[in-house]
Structure 1
Amino acid sequence: MVETLKLVYVLIIFYSIFLGIIVCNSSTIMYYDVPCEKDKDCPAPPRFNIRCRKGYCVRI
């Protein structure tokens, strides 16, 4: 019984870690309100990869 409870706790901990990773990675996608037609229309700050997707600049 105790070992089953430990297994459940370990599964919950690993699940929460992976859920946190998914949430953190999805929040890094930023949309800019800059309309564009080509990748060159987007502003290019250093260290960021910004591309034109669906008519707006998106940080990839």
Structure 2
Amino acid sequence: MTSYLWRKYADYVYTKWERTILWDMIDPYRRPKSFTPLVTIYICAFYTGVVGAAITEQFHK
């Protein structure tokens, strides 16, 4: 719904050329449909950091 309203607002305010640039800039920052891939990446990154810290700690003893 919010995206629809923004699009309508952009149609009203901006010319076609400006609209294209505006939506091309905003598009990568849109909320993903599902958060599962994002959560999976965060969990993998967290545990990679934990394992890296453990290995580093063992090397510096």
TM-score in same-fold range (> 0.5): no
Query: Greater strand percent: which structure?
Result: 1
Structure showing greater relative contact order (alpha-carbon pairs closer than 8 Å, 6 or more residues apart): 1
Structure of higher CA gyration radius = 2
- TM-score, normalised by the number of residues in structure 1: 0.43
Q: Normalization by structure 2: what TM-score?
A: 0.43
